Amino acid sequence: MITASVRYLTLFSFLVLLVSLKDKLLEIAHIPYRLVLEEYCRQDNIMSDEALGATAQWIQNKFTTIYESASPDQVSDFKTHLANVFHKDVEIYQNHQPISLGTFQDDLSQANAAHARSSIEWKEVFEVPPPEGDSDTSIVAGSFIVTRSMKFRIRAAPAQRLNHNIFSAKVQRNKSGQEEDGQFLITQLFITSVQNAAPIHLPGITKTDS
């Protein structure tokens, strides 16, 4: 009888130990799975970066420089920079209206000059493979948001405007060899833009239920 009681007590103690270690055992059991999942996600991000073609990277770099640059009064080579991005006979359609490169440049210059600083946030960008037999031409499309901080402030925060853009650009290899940091030129650009004021978060104001 005593031996049976000892056995039951030992078994009960063992079960209690298992229950107390349950969470730890489950955590240990999931370590390999978690490590594999983290590695998969890391590799997936790497593949996504590598999948971005040279033309798409070029577009990102050039558009970022153009939209974040200071006004032409402070950057003397602003016009030259645009000439290294757009073909001299480029076709530009802004909100489905044809405009000249000069108009596009003036609008961008005025927008940059009217604000203290600008920053661009890329939402999406992808590159369409060139058509068969035409390796010198490709299409890059995507979307980005330009946040422009105004020169005046509201309370403690600067006033801001958001410029939402969706674009599709036809890019051709630049055969002139005049550009140092790229070998492409935009020959056609469709861009849809809309502006709105960024939300203003005033400190110290909380919502109360009526």
| Token pair for 151 | 């020169």
Between the CA of residue 17 and those of 11, 21, 26, 44, 103, what are the distances in Å? 10, 6, 14, 41, 77
Q: What is the mean pLDDT of residues 22-50?
A: 46
- Helices 22-51/2-20 angle, 10° precision: 30
Find the DSSP H helices in the chain. Answer: 2-20, 22-51, 54-68, 78-83, 101-113
**pLDDT number for residue 149:** 79
166-204 pLDDT, tens digit each: 999 999 988 765 555 558 999 999 999 998 765 655 555
CATH for 54-197 is 3.10.450.50
81-122 pLDDT, tens digit each: 888 899 999 999 999 999 999 999 888 888 777 666 778 999
State how beta strands 115-128 and 184-197 pair.
unpaired
Q: Whole-angstrom Cα distance, residue 20 to residue 200?
A: 51
Backbone angles phi, psi at 25, to 5 degrees: -65, -40
